[in-house]
């Protein structure tokens, strides 16, 4: 393993730890602002590597870098009928676990802390506290995308011809770098007389201002003649190439194949352009939607990870990955032959995508994820609003302790999936180079 791979892994790892720390700050700041007593702020799990106590809160780092947490007193409310008395725990296994957790939660409450417990805070304050973590990941992802798109810029294809293909090849032949032979037919662009530096201004009578527009019109046309208006050295010129139909990778999703797409045989001039804030927002929305769709397909993709781990099947580049897998991708980026600025951009984008994934995953409405607490707070808000509307007494706090059996099941599933992902990322990792 080269030192560049190690360096890339460490850079990504440190960025990920910073992301986790900021996620927990997203919980910590509103919790303290609303007066909740926070006893611990930790990055990682397991034994403590380092810690320091400031007033009532212990800040520290733990050995296992698979997440983080803040510890707030009184997360579970007492049973209203118990009135502070300990309940008999011999009422069944699950009931015993629930009451044990409830008792442990209340044991942290010291005299004078009664109004600083989490469960007593208004539902909207608890909502803000638990939304704060995922929101911090979304903000961080947006900032990282902004650094790439507004600071470095991205490659943008111009509607200007950079080169004309001499012949028609299949995608596979192009990927192998095969040269044109007498067995290949001339490309429509070469036959029609297109040249390098021709600026495409209209396709089929429709004006175009971008390469994407021109490509879309050409592909949609399919086989047959089409009018292509260009500017050559400032002079307008109309050419009529006869397009051929080919099965080609989709412009929106290269993994998909477009059937019978029109093929002209030109490549565009590509320039680097810095983008504005609106473009960053659009990109953020697009990747957020893709991340949500990937999360919805997560159970299906776990099956593919299992096959890759134990059957030697090829690992899908879009399959889920653990921290180990993402770190290996970071190392592969650092060790690639790409220019330094391209490596930096790729690492920043990887970290942005990981933050999006962390934010979206934590919104799943199941405990112990933030989404479970968010769902509980929203449900309490709905119940209280309904009671006010019906002029009824305010209902009691939503008792999330009743969801603890499901929580334990979710934790078990998460542990199994995490172990599977880490194992797969060791024995059959995702490789960007194929």
Q: What is the torsional sign of CA 315, 316, 317, 320?
A: negative
CA 271 from chain center: how many Å? 27
Do 96 and 396 meet the contact criterion of CB atoms below 8 Å apart?
A: no
Contact 55, 40 (CB under 8 A): no
Contact at 8 Å (CB) between 187 and 265? yes
Q: What is the Cα–Cα distance from 292 to 274, expressed in whole angstroms? A: 27
Instruction: State the CB neighbour count (10 A cutoff) for residue 337.
Output: 6
The token duo for 350 is 């990887």
Distance between CA atoms of residues 156 and 92, nearest Å: 64
Residue 330, number of CB atoms within 10 A of its CB: 26
Backbone angles phi, psi at 416, to 5 degrees: -65, -45
User: What is d(CA 213, CA 207) in angstroms, rounded to the nearest whole number?
Assistant: 9
User: Residue 179 catalytic?
Assistant: no
Could you tell me which of 99, 135, 104 has the C-alpha nearest to residue 19?
A: 135
Question: Of the residues 24, 99, 332, 380, which is catalytic?
Answer: 24
Distance CA 24, CA 136 (A): 9
Q: Give catalytic residue positions.
A: 24
């Amino acid at each position: 393993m080269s030192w560049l791979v190690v360096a890339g892994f460490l850079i990504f790892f440190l960025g990920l730890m910073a992301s986790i720390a900021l996620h927990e700050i997203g919980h910590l700041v509103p919790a303290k602002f609303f007066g909740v007593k926070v006893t611990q702020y930790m990055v990682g799990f397991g034994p403590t590597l380092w810690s320091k106590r400031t007033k009532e809160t212990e800040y520290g780092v733990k050995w296992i870098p698979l997440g983080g947490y803040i510890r707030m007193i009184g997360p579970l409310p007492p049973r209203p009928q118990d009135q502070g008395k300990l309940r008999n725990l011999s009422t069944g296994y699950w009931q015993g676990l629930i009451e044990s957790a409830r008792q442990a939660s209340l044991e942290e409450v010291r005299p004078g802390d009664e109004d600083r417990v989490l469960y007593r805070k208004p539902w909207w304050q608890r909502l803000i506290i638990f939304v704060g973590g995922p929101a911090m990941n979304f903000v961080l992802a947006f900032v990282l995308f902004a650094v790439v798109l507004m600071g470095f810029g991205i490659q943008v294809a111009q509607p200007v011809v950079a080169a004309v293909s001499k012949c028609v090849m299949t995608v596979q032949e192009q990927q192998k770098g095969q040269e044109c032979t007498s067995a290949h037919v001339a490309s429509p662009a070469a036959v029609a007389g297109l040249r390098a530096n021709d600026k495409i201004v209209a396709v089929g009578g429709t004006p175009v201002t971008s390469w994407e527009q021109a490509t879309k019109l050409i592909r949609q046309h399919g086989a047959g003649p089409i009018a292509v208006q260009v500017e050559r050295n400032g002079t307008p010129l109309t050419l009529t190439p006869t397009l051929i139909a080919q099965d080609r990778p989709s412009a929106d999703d290269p993994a998909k194949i477009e059937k019978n797409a029109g093929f002209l045989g030109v490549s565009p001039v590509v320039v680097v352009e810095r983008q504005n804030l609106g473009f960053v927002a659009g990109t953020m929305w697009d990747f957020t939607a893709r991340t949500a769709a990937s999360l919805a397909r997560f159970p299906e993709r776990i099956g593919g990870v299992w096959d890759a781990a134990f059957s030697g099947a090829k690992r899908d580049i879009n399959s889920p990955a653990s921290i180990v897998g993402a770190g290996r991708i970071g190392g592969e980026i650092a060790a690639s032959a790409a220019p330094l600025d391209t490596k930096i951009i790729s690492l920043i984008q990887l970290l942005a995508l990981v933050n999006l994934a962390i934010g979206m995953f934590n919104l799943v409405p199941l405990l112990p994820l933030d989404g479970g607490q968010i769902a509980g707070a929203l449900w309490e808000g709905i119940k209280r609003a309904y009671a006010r509307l019906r002029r009824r007494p305010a209902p009691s706090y939503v008792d999330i302790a009743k969801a603890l059996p499901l929580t334990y099941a979710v934790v078990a599933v998460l542990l199994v999936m995490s172990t599977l992902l880490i194992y797969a990322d060791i024995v059959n990792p995702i490789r960007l180079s194929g």
